[in-house]
């Protein structure tokens, strides 16, 4: 029974030998006390296959690599030395993973690889590419589309809920319940102000009528009448008009 590292090496060797599109074969050498050296130098390799998990050294100098699949180095957790110089890397959005890995593992790189294209960054070290260079590389996969659809559905639900609330508020009626304690209030307090004014005016008219009847029953000295009228007008605001 073959062990997992041996089987992985055989798979890698078979892949490199049987896939013409990958270029010439790479050499796998076991290291002591543990580890694996994958040597693809000057192999005209145009794409790196998945690496065995026990790979500790990777040599891909002066080959035909233009990019490296995202996550390829992460599967080889024990990778300690990488040589990628001399490859015609195309520094577009796909090279962002390589840049980030190189920045985190500077000690594992003997010579930093450079960009071959596009012309704006030609001969520039991959690690010198800034975050602004990749600002247009935001993911536009299914996840972003799904998020946009979810946000649109939530917005539609919010609008429907708002319209329903406005319609409900428009059709609402309010009922005022008066308890027994409130029924003990005087009825006059509930009457409009005009009713109270009419009652006061009626009382004044009755008072004036009584005064007129009293004057008819008890004649008054006509010389004192102007003085009496003046007192009634000033103190009681009562005006008596002669007919």
51 part of a folded domain:
yes
The token duo for 217 is: 């029953």
Spatial distance between the Cα atoms of 70 and 237, rounded to a whole number of angstroms: 103
pLDDT given for residue 126 in this prediction: 94
Backbone angles phi, psi at 218, to 5 degrees: -125, 95
Spatial distance between the Cα atoms of 107 and 39, rounded to a whole number of angstroms: 19
Edge-to-edge order in the sheet of strand 36-39: 27-30, 36-39, 55-59, 81-83
Q: Are residues 116 and 195 in the same domain?
A: no
170 part of a folded domain:
no
Residue with tokens 């010439």: 24
129 part of a folded domain:
yes
* Cross-strand pairs, 55: 36
β-strands 36-39, 55-59: how paired?
parallel
User: What is the pTM (predicted TM-score) of this model?
Assistant: 0.50
pLDDT given for residue 46 in this prediction: 81
pLDDT (tens, 9 = 90+) of the chain, 243 residues, equals 444 444 445 444 444 444 434 445 678 888 888 888 888 888 777 888 888 888 999 999 988 899 999 999 998 888 999 999 999 999 999 999 999 999 999 999 988 999 999 999 999 999 999 999 998 886 655 556 677 788 888 988 989 888 888 888 777 654 545 454 444 444 454 455 466 666 666 765 676 666 667 656 655 556 666 777 777 777 666 666 655
pLDDT given for residue 176 in this prediction: 43
Question: Number of structural domains, the chain?
Answer: 2
pLDDT given for residue 20 in this prediction: 38
What CATH number has the domain bearing residue 75? 3.80.10.10
pLDDT given for residue 82 in this prediction: 92
Quote the domain boundaries for residue 37. 4-134
Spatial distance between the Cα atoms of 127 and 97, rounded to a whole number of angstroms: 11
* Cross-strand pairs, 27: 39
Q: What does the chain look like in DSSP terms, one character per residue?
A: ---HHHHHHHHHHHHHHH-GGG-SPPEEEE-SSS-EEEE-TTS---SPPPPPTTEEEEE-TTS--S---TTTGGG-TT--EEE-TT--EE-SGGGHHHHHHHHHTGGGBSS--BEEESGGGTT-BGGG--GGGGTT----SHHHHHHHHHHHHHHHHHHHHHHHHHHHHHT--------TTGGGS-GGGGS-HHHHHHHHHHHHHHHHHHHHHHHHHS---TTTHHHHHHHHHHHH-------
C-alpha distance from residue 16 to each of 8, 48, 61, 121 (Å) = 12, 9, 16, 31
152 part of a folded domain:
no
182 part of a folded domain:
no
39 part of a folded domain:
yes
Residue that finishes a domain, picked among 118, 134, 150: 134
119 part of a folded domain:
yes
Contacts of 233 (CB under 8 A, 6+ apart): 239
Q: Are residues 39 and 129 in the same domain?
A: yes
Q: Are residues 36 and 130 in the same domain?
A: yes
Q: Are residues 122 and 224 in the same domain?
A: no
């Amino acid at each position: 029974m073959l062990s997992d590292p041996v089987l992985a090496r055989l798979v890698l060797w078979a892949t490199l030998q049987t896939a013409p599109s990958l270029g010439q074969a790479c050499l796998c050498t076991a290291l002591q006390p543990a580890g694996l050296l994958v040597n693809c130098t000057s192999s005209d390799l145009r794409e790196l296959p998945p690496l065995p998990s026990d790979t500790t050294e990777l040599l891909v100098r002066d080959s035909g690599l233009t990019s490296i699949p995202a996550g390829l180095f992460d599967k080889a957790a024990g990778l300690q030395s990488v040589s990628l110089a001399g490859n015609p890397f195309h520094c577009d959005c796909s090279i962002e993973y390589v840049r980030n890995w190189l920045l985190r593992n500077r000690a594992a790189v003997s010579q930093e690889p450079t960009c071959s294209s596009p012309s704006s960054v030609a001969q520039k070290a991959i690690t010198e590419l800034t975050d602004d260079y990749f600002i247009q590389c935001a993911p536009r996969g299914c996840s972003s589309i799904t998020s946009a659809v979810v946000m649109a559905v939530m917005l539609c639900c919010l609008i429907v809920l708002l319209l329903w609330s406005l319609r409900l508020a428009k059709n609402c009626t309010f009922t005022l319940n008066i308890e027994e304690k409130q029924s003990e209030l005087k009825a006059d307090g509930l009457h409009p102000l005009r009713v109270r004014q009419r009652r006061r005016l009626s009382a004044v008219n009755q008072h004036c009528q009584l005064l007129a009847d009293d004057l008819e029953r008890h004649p008054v000295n006509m010389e004192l009448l102007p003085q009496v009228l003046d007192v009634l007008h000033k103190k009681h605001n009562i005006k008596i008009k002669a007919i």
